[in-house]
Chains A and B, each alone.
Chain A
């Protein structure tokens, strides 16, 4: 694979990710606008207008273009497994080029010195998460999740005896307490089980599922629907000014847990639910999925 060619092909998709919203998210926002009135409606109108401008002018909808993160699904039979280092290097380089060209905001800061290198890179950033799956495809999602909503993330190591009722309490209490801060209406990602770090990963990965798409297991799907309905009765509303739409969706993913531990991780995604999913063909070309 040619790194330069890969980098060139990545810029347009990165731009698309930060200047547009996926259709299911747009549909949910449009629907929300219809049921809101007063201040909440004004917020949604501004949101939809901002998306329009972002798309038509090719500029980032939101100035916070997030921490650059890629979720990779690597088929174990992918024909170009010996090119993974080139791919990794290209993603990093693509982020540096996109920072200048799109442009996206330089969002990496050294935690101790406060220095911002200005190109969206740093130790382990862009963050690239790999999962090995069956098949021969390599697909990836670029998820530029903003800092405001990420700051509202929470991990609870729940007493297992509280059970599913405890999970519901924790999720609803969190949505209530974060109010307007994560830029509602949000998509609330919930990760359950595993360990502390596994649960947090699951919460974020749950956000990869499109708005409106329920969990594959009906028991979890029902829980998602119940939490969504209850969350929208809390009255936080668009941007926290009050109203009927606090969340656009609730997503849950789970793993098995330790008998003594019941991790419940929450990470909200702001309404600017930006992403792009791509397929990287073994000869080095990129297709949008």
Chain B
């Protein structure tokens, strides 16, 4: 299985194809609804983001965290439903140039177009498998907006070792497993409804 290292190599990301499993070693950051809004808001005001979002995968995740002796630890950290970020992700790529988004449930056509434009991919990590993901975290490097957004919505910067398996479900060529499954499901639904 391919292991991608951060800072990400744009050519390597671009070469990932749908159905390809891979892992990540290096740094990732979490961002879900409120963090997307916050980061895009900062950019609009002309302010710098607190880390280089271009070089690291964005993980749609609100983890369970624990603080012991002033150090944060990840307890459980699976993906959240990515489609909620559909309203942000094209702008997020335009603004920050992020190349890999990790979540669950897939994203829509607007994101698919932006992935093509930016040579980026969307990958799925098994929803609910938060305990499995936590095992790949070596260190919590940083956290941003914790007081303002709370634990689930804060931007956590995590050092991970072989985080995965991640499955590319939307690639930079415009392919999408979610679109394919959707079409198949619609056909199956029509068949079931006509036999009721």
With contacts A39-B19, A57-B131, A270-B128 known, is A107 near B193, CB below 8 A? no
Interface secondary structure of A, over-half rule: loop
**Does B128 lie within 8 Å of A183, measured CB to CB?**
yes
Check if A50 sits within 8 Å of B64, measured CB to CB: no
Among candidates B81, B131, B189, residue contacting A59 with C-beta atoms closer than 8 Å:
B131
A50 to B64, CA, bound (A): 15
Interface assignment of A123: CB less than 8 Å from any CB of chain B: no
CA distance A179 to B127 in the complex (A): 13
Interface size on B, residues (CB 8 A): 51
Contact, CB under 8 Å: B181 / A49: no
The chain B residue with its CB closest to the CB of A53 is B131
> CB of B7 within 8 A of chain A?
no
Q: How many whole Å from B88's CB to the nearest CB in chain A?
A: 16
Any chain B CB within 8 A of the CB of A65?
A: yes
B192 close to A63 (CB less than 8 A):
no
Chain A window 40-84, contacts with chain B (Cβ cutoff 8 Å), 1 for yes, 0 for no:
001100110111011001011111110000000000000000000
Contact digits for B43-75, partner A, Cβ 8 Å, 1 yes 0 no: 000000000000000000111111000000001
Say whether, besides A60-B75, A116-B151, A230-B192, A240 and B181 are in contact (CB < 8 Å): yes
- Report the minimal beta-carbon distance from B107 to chain A, rounded to whole angstroms: 11
Q: Tally chain A residues at the interface, Cβ within 8 Å.
A: 55
B184-196 interface bits toward A, Cβ cutoff 8 Å, 1 = contact, 0 = none: 1110110111001
Q: Scoring B residues 139 to 162 as 1 if CB is less than 8 Å from chain A, else 0, what string do you get?
A: 000000000011111000000000
Which one of B21, B63, B177, B181 lies within 8 Å of A42 (CB-CB)? B21
Contact: B165 with A235, CB < 8 Å?
no
B130 touches A61 (CB 8 A): yes
Please name all residues of chain B whose beta carbon is closer than 8 Å to the beta carbon of A233 when the two chains form the complex.
188, 191-192
Q: Write the residues of chain A forming the contact surface with B, with a CB cutoff of 8 angstroms.
A: 39, 42-43, 46-47, 49-51, 53-54, 57, 59-65, 103-107, 109, 114-116, 118, 146-148, 151, 165, 168-169, 172-173, 176, 179-181, 183, 230, 233-237, 239-242, 270-272
A121 to B66 alpha-carbon distance, docked (Å): 18
B119 beta carbon closer than 8 Å to chain A = no
Is A106 a contact partner of B76 (Cβ separation < 8 A)? Answer: no
The CA of A38 and the CA of B186, in the complex, are separated in Å by 21
Q: Which residues of B contact A168 (CB under 8 A)?
A: 196
Cα of A259 to Cα of B159 in the assembled complex, Å? 60
> CA–CA, A43 to B185, complex, Å?
18
CB of B151 within 8 A of CB of A118, answer: yes
Closest 9 CB pairs of A and B: A116-B150, A50-B129, A63-B130, A46-B126, A183-B127, A53-B131, A62-B128, A63-B76, A181-B105
Write out the residue numbers on chain B whose beta carbons fall within 8 Å of the beta carbon of A59.
Answer: 64, 75-76, 131, 134
Residues of A contacting B76 with CB < 8 Å? 54, 59-63, 105
A63-B62, A242-B177, A271-B128 are contacts. A105–B192 as well, Cβ < 8 Å?
Answer: no
Whether B62 pairs with A105 at a CB distance below 8 angstroms is yes
Could you tell me if A50 and B83 are in contact, using CB atoms closer than 8 angstroms?
Answer: no
Contact yes or no, A46 B132, CB < 8 A: yes
Tell me which residues across on chain A come within 8 A of B178, comparing CB atoms.
179-180, 240
| B80 proximal to A (CB < 8 A) | yes
Cβ contacts under 8 Å, A151 to chain B:
81
Complexed CA–CA distance, A109 and B32 (Å): 14
A242→B167 contact, CB < 8 A:
no
Residues of A within 8 A of B177 (CB): 39, 241-242
Q: Chain A's nearest CB lies how many Å from the CB of B134? A: 7
A51 CB contacts on chain B under 8 angstroms: 131
**Residue contacts A-B, CB under 8 angstroms, 12 given:** A59-B76, A63-B77, A64-B128, A103-B64, A103-B66, A105-B63, A147-B80, A180-B106, A180-B181, A242-B180, A242-B184, A272-B128
Contacts of B35 in A (CB 8 A): none
Q: CB-CB < 8 A to B196: which residues of A? A: 165, 168-169
Looking at B104, B165, B192, which has the most chain A CB atoms within 10 Å of its CB? Answer: B192
Give, as a whole number of angstroms, the nearest-CB distance from A275 to chain B: 15
For B151, list chain A residues within 8 Å (CB).
105-106, 116, 118
